[in-house]
Amino acid sequence: MNSLFLIIKRWGLVVSMLTGASAYCIYVNIRALDHTHAMANQVVQIVQPALLFSMLLLTFLKVKTSDLHLRKWQFGGLALQGSLWVIGALLLMTVPMSHTLNLALQGFLLCMICPTATAAAVITGKLGGNQGSLTMYLILANLLASLLIPAMLPLIFQQDGLTFWSTFMRIVMKIFPLLFLPFLCAGLMRKTMPGLTRLLTGIPNAAFYLWMIALSLAIAVSVKTMHHSISAGHGILPQVAIAVSSLIACVIQFSFGRWMGKHMSQYTPDEVISSTQGLGQKNTIFSIWCGYTFMDPLSSIAGGFYSIWHNVYNSYQLAKSQKEN
């Protein structure tokens, strides 16, 4: 029993991923429950944001406004994300390429411009990173995505009703309520309810356990996206190409994030962790939504694959950190 608990504690994210994937596969193959699929989707759409809100609230209760510092690595990360997004968008507009390569590039771009995951602050704190500078990059990365995605998408996909302002407003309404409302509520609670704040922040690893539950749901949604793409009759080659491109994007961002932490800060271990997680850990639910809503729907599975890659790496980091400690 102790060994099982140790495995779950050390490899909690992998357990959550396997649980989410297995639960979806079992659920979708029980024909007697087919009539509940629509209701299940509605429940997930309510429960998932509630979990993320609670997780962020617990995290932001520990992060004050005075902790939000600008760092050189943050601008380096924004430059990498923004430049590769613009260059890739120009390639899509000007260079003839096969449908498979086009989808792979779309998936790569989604993974690059996708803002930092809200859970990155939880994992950063768990690894001993600076949650303040990570939260600052979280805000900046969301601002960058909100501006650059609407700026380029109407040029790449010329569709009726696809304009800068329409795209901008849809993206803002998608990501900012879940980002700023927990931050504002946390600031209000610290000032007006210090007793409740001490009680909530005194619960060990509460935000991390909430993320384990939210991750199971996120993986289930990712598996659902990939399952639907297979059911739609798409060939295996485009999906393999998207999987590879998302893996390349993951390796680039985690590697560049670590390099920036070492060379664009005072080389403190906490800033290295923050820069690595800030650039590498992504809001994959947003990338799935963005790909399905604005780009070729098949490109959205890049977010599902990226969710697997970055959470496997996060699991390795957490296991290594716990073993060292």
14-28 pLDDT, tens digit per residue, is: 788 888 889 888 988
Determine the Cα–Cα distance for residues 303 and 287; give it in Å rounded to an integer.
5
Q: What is the rounded average pLDDT of the residues 302-321?
A: 86
Q: What is the pLDDT of residues 178-221, one digit of tens each?
A: 778 888 888 888 888 888 888 888 887 787 888 888 888 888 88
**51-55 CB contacts, 8 Å cutoff, 24+ apart:** 51/210, 51/211, 51/213, 51/214, 51/217, 52/118, 52/119, 52/178, 52/214, 53/178, 53/181, 53/182, 54/210, 55/118, 55/119, 55/122, 55/207, 55/210, 55/211, 55/214
**Residue 4's pLDDT band (boundaries 50, 70, 90)?**
low
- 277 contacts 131 by C-beta, under 8 angstroms: no
- Res 9: pLDDT: 63
- Res 198: pLDDT: 86
Q: What is the rounded average pLDDT of the residues 165-185?
A: 83
Determine the Cα–Cα distance for residues 253 and 313; give it in Å rounded to an integer.
12
**Residue 3's pLDDT band (boundaries 50, 70, 90)?**
low
Q: What is the pLDDT of residues 42-53, one digit of tens each?
A: 888 888 888 888
- Res 232: pLDDT: 60
Beta bridge partners of 282: 116
Domain positions in the chain: 2-324
322 phi/psi in degrees, rounded to 5: -65, -35
- Res 5: pLDDT: 59
Percent of the chain predicted with pLDDT > 70: 92
Q: How many Cα atoms occupy the beta-carbon half-sphere of 223 within 13 Å?
A: 18
- Res 236: pLDDT: 80
**Residue 165's pLDDT band (boundaries 50, 70, 90)?**
confident
Q: Tell which wins on pLDDT, 91 or 224.
A: 91
- Res 77: pLDDT: 93
pTM, rounded to two decimals: 0.85
- Res 249: pLDDT: 95
Whether the pLDDT of residue 111 is over 90: the answer is yes
What number does CATH give the domain 2-324?
1.20.1530.20
Which one-letter DSSP state was computed for residue 209?
Answer: H
- Res 76: pLDDT: 92
Q: What is the rounded average pLDDT of the residues 152-179?
A: 80
**Residue 6's pLDDT band (boundaries 50, 70, 90)?**
low
Whether the pLDDT of residue 175 is over 90: the answer is no
**Residue 254's pLDDT band (boundaries 50, 70, 90)?**
very high
- Res 132: pLDDT: 86
